[in-house]
Amino acid sequence: MTESLHTEILVIGWGKAGKTLAGVMGRAGRSVTLVEQSTDMVGGTCINIGCVPTKALVHQADVRREDDDPAAYFRGAVQSRDILIDKLNAANREMLESVDQVRLVVGGRAEFTGPKQVRVTGGSDELDITADAVVLNTGAVPRTIDVPGADGPRVHDSTSIQHVDPFPARLAIVGAGPVALEFASMFAQFGSDVTLLEHGARILRIEDEDVAESVRQALGDQGVRILTQAQTTAIEDAADGVRLRTGVGDVTADAVLVAVGRLPATEGLGLGTAGVEVGQRGEVVVDDLLRTSAEGVWAVGDVNGGPQQTYVSLDDHRIVTSQLNGSGRRSRADRIAVPTTIFLTPPLGRVGLSEHEAREAGKAFHVHVKAVGEIAAMPRPRTLGETHGLIKFVVDADTDEILGAALHTVDAQELVNLVALAMRTGTTAAQLRDGIWTHPSTTEALNEVLVTPGVS
């Protein structure tokens, strides 16, 4: 059966930007239709398979006691994860179902049939939709590797590894980016013998060497074995597990996680039919207003090739909403000091320029750096029993403003937001150094680290 409808705004994909935009515009009285092809992805990647469930597992891993049986404990952690995600999934559905002007189409695959014309197919049913505006919000999917055996039954991506069964006493991870490092730290804390395979000379190649070394040491103390220059050439089933052939020898494990990045999810959307240009990595090409090459079509979130962060996707919705129902002045060019966090144990927060980036940019700067275990003014890591890490600031030598920071410490995911705000507002290193902060808190590190004589 084929049905037709016209909507003012069509959103394809239930990610952070799309669902927020749908709610805002629907409550403003605009007719909105949101299409999501998977019933398992109501609410988007973040709450179903990304940020929230993985960080729930990180927390469960961190609080595991040494005498807890790894396999049994992991099963319980997964059950807790699933209960949480079911609640969030239902809450996300209700948030849009309660808006009269929003129509939800779940379980149908969308494909453009012409400019601002989409056919949604689900089983034998079809829905032809025309819209005044279309917002693409289809997210990203795990990148695969082209080696023999990479599609084997014991090879996982970042989604399936969250329900791996049986629990792997030995886990091999191909990749050493943020996702790979988070899972390496997590599964080591759960009790796995983890081997991380990095094809380059070191992990975290975009970070300064001292920051990367701080992370390497923390992972090593958790029991993670890191092999560099380890290019995986084949994955083979073996009697004692699954064997990975690499340039530095063979690695045998019970399960393999391939975590080598994520690619924009544009396959099958018929973007060429709509006149939407796609880049080399499959990303939808957009300008700073997130407009695509097709009039009246925008792309938000991971699909547009920008930073794959939920909070960036949230800001994407602000940019498009401003054009659909506001001044239209918001732009990606407005973004200053966008922070990131890798949720290792302890986490690594990063914002602004690294030392080597500042040098390459020709900046005159000072570096303030101190190992977490040596910061007397910050007792919080000791109270939590986690003193790994390093705190590093790059400070403009002329203005004393913060150019960037790397924060490998407990609570880094919070502290990095304060530093980012300081950078946006022009707050100086001296003002942070002389701030009055609660005790005991991680923020107190600012009182000591920024007193440390800077090295140019």
**How much is the pTM?**
0.94
Q: Of all residues in the chain, what percent are helix, strand and coil, respectively (each to 5)?
A: 35, 30, 40
Q: What is the pLDDT of residues 264-313, one digit of tens each?
A: 999 999 999 999 999 999 999 999 999 999 999 999 999 999 999 999 99
The yes-or-no verdict on residue 159 having pLDDT over 90 is yes
Alpha carbon distance 326, 39 (integer Å): 32
Tell me where in the chain the CATH 3.30.390.30 domain(s) lie: 340-449
Q: What is the pLDDT of residues 6-33, one digit of tens each?
A: 999 999 999 999 999 999 999 999 999 9
Tell me where in the chain the CATH 3.50.50.60 domain(s) lie: 2-140+263-334, 155-260
The yes-or-no verdict on residue 452 having pLDDT over 90 is no
Q: In angstroms, what CA-CA distances link 430 with 15, 78, 115, 371, 402?
A: 40, 45, 55, 20, 10
408: annotated active-site residue? no
**Confidence at residue 217, expressed as pLDDT on a 0 to 100 scale:** 97
Is residue 370 classed as helix, strand or coil in its secondary structure?
Answer: strand
DSSP-assigned beta bridge partners for residue 154: none
**Confidence at residue 455, expressed as pLDDT on a 0 to 100 scale:** 63
Cβ neighbours of residue 433 closer than 8 Å, sequence gap 6 or more? 446, 447, 450, 451
Q: Which CATH superfamily is domain 2-140+263-334 in?
A: FAD/NAD(P)-binding domain (3.50.50.60)
Average pLDDT (209-228) is 97
**Confidence at residue 239, expressed as pLDDT on a 0 to 100 scale:** 86
**Confidence at residue 216, expressed as pLDDT on a 0 to 100 scale:** 97
Q: What is the pLDDT of residues 28-39, one digit of tens each?
A: 999 999 999 999
**Confidence at residue 2, expressed as pLDDT on a 0 to 100 scale:** 79
Alpha carbon distance 193, 224 (integer Å): 7
Q: Among 3.40.50.1110, 3.50.7.10, 3.40.50.300, 3.30.390.30, name the CATH number for the domain at 340-449.
A: 3.30.390.30
CATH number of 155-260: 3.50.50.60
- In the chain the first and final C-alpha atoms are separated, in Å, by 70
Q: Are 243 and 231 in contact (CB under 8 A)?
A: no
Alpha carbon distance 123, 125 (integer Å): 6
Q: What is the pLDDT of residues 415-440, one digit of tens each?
A: 999 999 999 999 999 999 999 999 99
**Confidence at residue 456, expressed as pLDDT on a 0 to 100 scale:** 55
Q: What is the pLDDT of residues 57-76, one digit of tens each?
A: 999 999 999 999 999 999 99
